[in-house]
Amino acid sequence: MRSLWLPLLLALAACGTDREPRHDTRLVRAAGAGDLETVTQLLGDGADVDTRDDTGRTAVTSAVYGDHLAVVRLLVDAGANVDIQDDSRANALLATGETGNAEVLREVLRADPDLARTNRFGGTALIPAADRGHVEVVRELVRTKIDVDHVNDLGWTALLEAVILGDGGPAHQEIVRTLVEAGADVDLADREGVTPLEHARRAGFREIARLLESAGAR
């Protein structure tokens, strides 16, 4: 009896090796490497533009992290879903807040992303862009309908992060100015009741404090 089952088991095993893997990572890897030719070929061969790797990351998010503008443009044109979040809750839009590439952000915005999606800290793309000093990305984002007063899991807004985590230099000064002009609530305090102005004064950021005072901050 055992000899009768053995050929069948071997045949089933052989069929299993021909099955597609749970995650076809070729497109994601090519996008992350900026390999436009391979990405184009894979899409032409019928690859799913929204396929994910083992971390849940899509090709378009991988391309954004690599600052590969042409690949991002190609994937957006191919209908990539820029809202898909990976296991770390990153997606194409949120990644631009980290990388600071405004040109890539403009391509992602063409896909009409969900501006309210949040990262692992509960923040929108605007918040990391503000704290990292990405002036051009902040400028692009405040032109959208993104919530400039969104509060993340730490209890901080983009304005608070620009002050608390920034260095008080020209880039963060410009970000504070941009957020204020976009209507950010200058008196919205952190969980301890400390306002952006008080944080600026404590840190010795005189120009930022002056900007906030000019905006009527208390």
CATH at 92:
1.25.40.20
Count how many domains the chain has.
Answer: 2
As a whole number of angstroms, the distance between CA 185 and CA 10 comes to 68
Query: How many angstroms from the chain centroid is the CA of residue 105?
Result: 9
Say whether both 56 and 102 belong to one domain.
Answer: yes
Residue ending a domain, among 114, 147, 182, is 114
Question: Are 43 and 16 in a shared domain?
Answer: yes
State pLDDT tens for residues 43-87: 999 999 999 999 999 999 999 999 999 999 999 999 999 999 999
Tokens of 188: 């919205």
Apex CA 28: angle with CA 17 and CA 122, to 5°?
A: 120
Q: How far apart are CA 108 and CA 136, in angstroms?
A: 15
**Tens digit of pLDDT for each residue in 107-146?**
999 999 999 999 999 999 999 999 999 999 999 999 999 9
Q: What is the pLDDT of residue 2?
A: 44
Q: Among residues 65, 93, 114, which one ends one of the domains?
A: 114
Q: Is residue 144 part of a domain?
A: yes
157 Rama class: left (phi>0) / alpha (psi -120 to 50) / beta: beta
- Same-domain pairing of 85 and 153: no
- Residue ending a domain, among 86, 114, 142, is 114
Total-model pTM: 0.88
Whether 175 is in a domain gets the answer: yes
Residues 141 and 98: their CA atoms lie apart, in Å, by 13
Residue 20 has pLDDT above 60, yes or no: no
